């Protein structure tokens, strides 16, 4: 198949899922065309059967906001016609689903077909999409997709609860490439960061308010009072400056490292003992799955799709949003005993294997084939 993929090219989970799925499809022999405003971060080097089409948005003094959606639609039509795309898969409904719908209409006006699948990822439904600025268009585009998937059952339910969607939504969970995400020997990193064999606690995210990173600091402080520990913060975003200031006020600065955006996050995860994800809302929590694949147990909230990813008492623990005392209690329980920590690490990998990309990819392929069969 010739597949077009629309996504955000950023560090966020939806862009990562879209890129890793595209690469895996290309490995199976499909031609995969990414169409977005910059090179997807996980598309670091040449990959056979993978093509990248950059969207250029022509500006004009009249525009307060350059119409990216219009430029993306035009680019998609151009790529669909000249690369003869069979299907388009869009990740994160805003603005990708309405772009694909418009492109489909343009192609049909020229006697050509362009079915599209919309994958809902999270805040396109739980936060941004609910806003009246977007809701009518998002609802229409979901209902006019040829197929719709969500990354968790929780997100599926939230979509039906918040949008007048009458379309069937298939739950296809996010996945992990265990060939990349596995515990790697980086003892020299560990010795450098934890010379006194401190426990290493880690958080990775896009540093947005929804991630509640202040709770990461609070949990860390409570743990560090009992167990010699250090905190690694991976990622960057709108909350970083505020969190750095808060950290200087409430944490021992020598014990907290802000690492910024890291391409090979698996190398850092491989030396860590606990991943903390105290999000306000989280439709899946791909970062938690990546940690588990590197044998890092997870302390998270029980919001959204996280109970479909984390298993209480097996590969980590879950607490109510904001309950930093409970999160710290559970973190200490895991970290205070070497054999218990080792068991949680083994369980984390065992659970991560249930999301192996090799198990999830065929589900997407079957959906593509089903949509194409319906076009005949
Ligand atoms: O929705 C966002 O805030 C961004 C989005 C992203 O692109 O990172 O995250 C969502 O998609 C990820 C991939 O499916 C999920 O793992 C995240 O849980 C989800 N974020 C939220 O629901 C807050």
Collapsing DSSP to helix, strand or coil, 210 comes out as helix
The domains located in the chain, with CATH, are 2-175+356-374 (3.40.50.2000), 187-355 (3.40.50.2000)
* Residue-level length of the chain: 376
pTM for the full predicted model = 0.95
Q: What is the DSSP letter of 92?
A: S
Give pLDDT tens digits for 161-191: 999 999 999 999 999 999 999 999 999 999 9
Q: What's the pLDDT score for residue 82?
A: 98
Q: What is the DSSP letter of 120?
A: E
- Ligand 1 atom nearest residue 210's Cα: 23
Model confidence at 55: pLDDT above 90: yes
- Ligand 1 atom nearest residue 12's Cα: 8
Q: What's the pLDDT score for residue 233?
A: 98
Model confidence at 125: pLDDT above 90: yes
Percent of the chain with pLDDT over 70: 100
Model confidence at 32: pLDDT above 90: yes
* Token duo for residue 299: 């302390």
- Ligand 1 atom nearest residue 211's Cα: 23
Q: What's the pLDDT score for residue 175?
A: 98
- Ligand 1 atom nearest residue 119's Cα: 14
Say yes or no: CB of residue 18 within 6 Å of ligand 1.
Answer: no
Sequential DSSP letters for 295-338: T--EEEE--TTGGGT--BTTTEEEE-TT-HHHHHHHHHHHHS-H
β-bridge pairing 50-54 and 31-36:
parallel
Site to substitute for ligand 1 among 118, 121, 304, most atoms within 8 A of C-beta: 121
Say yes or no: CB of residue 7 within 6 Å of ligand 1.
Answer: no
Model confidence at 122: pLDDT above 90: yes
CA–CA separation, 5 vs 92, rounded Å? 11
Model confidence at 48: pLDDT above 90: yes
Say yes or no: CB of residue 269 within 6 Å of ligand 1.
Answer: no
Collapsing DSSP to helix, strand or coil, 291 comes out as helix
Say yes or no: CB of residue 207 within 6 Å of ligand 1.
Answer: no
How many whole angstroms from 126 Cα to the centroid of ligand 1?
A: 10
Mean pLDDT of the chain: 96
Give pLDDT tens digits for 325-341: 999 999 999 999 999 99
Give pLDDT tens digits for 252-308: 888 999 999 998 999 999 999 999 999 999 999 999 999 999 999 999 999 999 999
- The residue nearest atom 10 of ligand 1, judged by CA position, is 122
CA–CA separation, 33 vs 22, rounded Å? 8
CA–CA separation, 114 vs 101, rounded Å? 9
Say yes or no: CB of residue 285 within 6 Å of ligand 1.
Answer: yes
Closest CA to 206 of 238, 231, 242: 238
Say yes or no: CB of residue 129 within 6 Å of ligand 1.
Answer: no
Is 162 within 8 Å of 127 (Cβ atoms)? no
How many whole angstroms from 211 Cα to the centroid of ligand 1?
A: 10
Burial of 170 (0-12, 13-18, 19+ CB in 10 A): middle
CB neighbours (10 Å) of residue 338? 8
- Ligand 1 atom nearest residue 289's Cα: 16
How many whole angstroms from 253 Cα to the centroid of ligand 1?
A: 29
How many whole angstroms from 148 Cα to the centroid of ligand 1?
A: 16
Band of pLDDT at residue 158, cut at 50, 70 and 90: very high
* Token duo for residue 181: 């995400």
Is 199 within 8 Å of 207 (Cβ atoms)? no
Residue linked to tokens 């966020």: 12
């Amino acid at each position: 198949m010739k597949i077009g993929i629309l996504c955000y090219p950023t560090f966020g989970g939806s862009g990562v899922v879209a890129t890793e799925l595209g690469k895996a499809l290309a490995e199976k022999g499909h031609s995969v065309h990414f169409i977005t405003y910059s090179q997807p971060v996980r598309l670091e080097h040449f990959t056979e059967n993978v093509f990248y089409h950059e969207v250029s948005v022509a500006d004009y003094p009249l525009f307060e906001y350059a119409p990216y959606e219009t430029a993306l639609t035009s680019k998609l039509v151009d790529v669909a016609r000249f690369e003869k795309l069979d299907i388009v898969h869009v990740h994160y409904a805003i603005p990708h689903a309405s772009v694909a719908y418009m492109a489909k209409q343009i192609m049909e006006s020229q006697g050509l077909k362009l079915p599209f699948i919309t994958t809902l990822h999270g805040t396109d439904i739980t936060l941004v999409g609910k806003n009246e600025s977007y809701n009518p268009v998002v609802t229409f585009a979901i209902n006019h997709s040829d197929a719709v998937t969500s990354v968790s059952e929780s997100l599926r339910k939230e979509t039906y609860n918040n949008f007048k969607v009458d379309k069937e939504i298939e739950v296809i969970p996010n996945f992990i490439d265990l060939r990349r995400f596995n515990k790697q020997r980086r003892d020299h990193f560990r010795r450098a960061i934890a010379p006194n064999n401190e426990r290493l606690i880690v958080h990775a995210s896009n540093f947005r308010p929804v991630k509640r990173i202040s709770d990461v600091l609070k949990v860390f402080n409570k743990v560090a009072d009992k167990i010699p520990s250090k905190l690694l913060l991976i990622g960057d975003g709108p909350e970083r400056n505020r969190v750095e200031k808060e950290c200087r006020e409430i944490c021992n600065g020598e014990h907290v490292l802000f690492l910024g955006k890291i391409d090979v996050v698996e190398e850092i995860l491989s030396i860590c003992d606990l991943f903390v994800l105290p999000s306000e809302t989280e439709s899946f929590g791909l970062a938690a799955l990546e940690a588990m694949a590197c044998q890092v147990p997870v302390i998270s909230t029980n919001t959204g799709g996280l109970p479909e990813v984390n298993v209480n008492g097996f590969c980590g623990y879950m607490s109510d949003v904001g309950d930093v005392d409970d999160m710290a209690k559970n973190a200490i329980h895991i970290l205070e005993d070497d054999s218990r920590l080792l068991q949680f690490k083994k369980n984390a990998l065992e659970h991560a294997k249930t999301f192996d990309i090799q198990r999830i990819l065929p589900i997407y392929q079957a959906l593509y084939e089903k949509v194409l069969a319906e076009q005949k």
